[in-house]
Copies of this chain bind each other. A is one copy, B any other.
Amino acid sequence: MNIYTEHLTFQTTQKREIINITEQIKAAMQKSGFHDGFVIVSSLHSNSAIFVNDAEPGLLEDVTEWLERLCPPSDSFKHTGNVESSSEKHLQALLLSHTEVIAFSEGKLELGPWQYIHFAELDGLRPKRVLIKIFGE
């Protein structure tokens, strides 16, 4: 089994943005030259996340509204570490995933026809890094 590593950087133009990164993952898989294996996709920040689901724009609006409904801002938060990032962004990242693992077989990602890989930026307007690490043969 061989290993291929790549880092992406995203700087969104809005605080909150969901970016479909499926094509970048496919391109990295092709660069790796592997046909059978898996990809680890990780957000390298505590206030952004990775998730796999449909990419239909209306659904992504529903996802955003849902994240805000289950993890709203609060005056009673204890987190004082960082003025740039308040607790609700961290909780929204926890509700999604810091990492997704996606397998591939015969040169194709093991995703259904309505499944896409997303980078969920919850506190953007600055450079944020995503790891793509591929193991395969």
Contact = CB atoms under 8 A, between A and B. Distances in A.
Interface string A30-46: 00000011101011111
Interface stretch (A8-16, A20-28, A106-114): A106-114
Given A90-B53, A110-B133, A115-B45, A78 B103 contact: no
A135 B137 CA distance: 12
Q: Is the interface of A mostly helix, strand, loop or mixed?
A: mixed
B78 A62 contact: yes
25 contacts: A1-B1, A5-B36, A38-B133, A44-B110, A44-B115, A45-B112, A45-B114, A45-B115, A46-B112, A52-B98, A54-B81, A56-B82, A58-B77, A58-B81, A58-B87, A61-B78, A62-B79, A62-B87, A66-B71, A81-B114, A82-B114, A98-B115, A99-B100, A103-B133, A110-B131
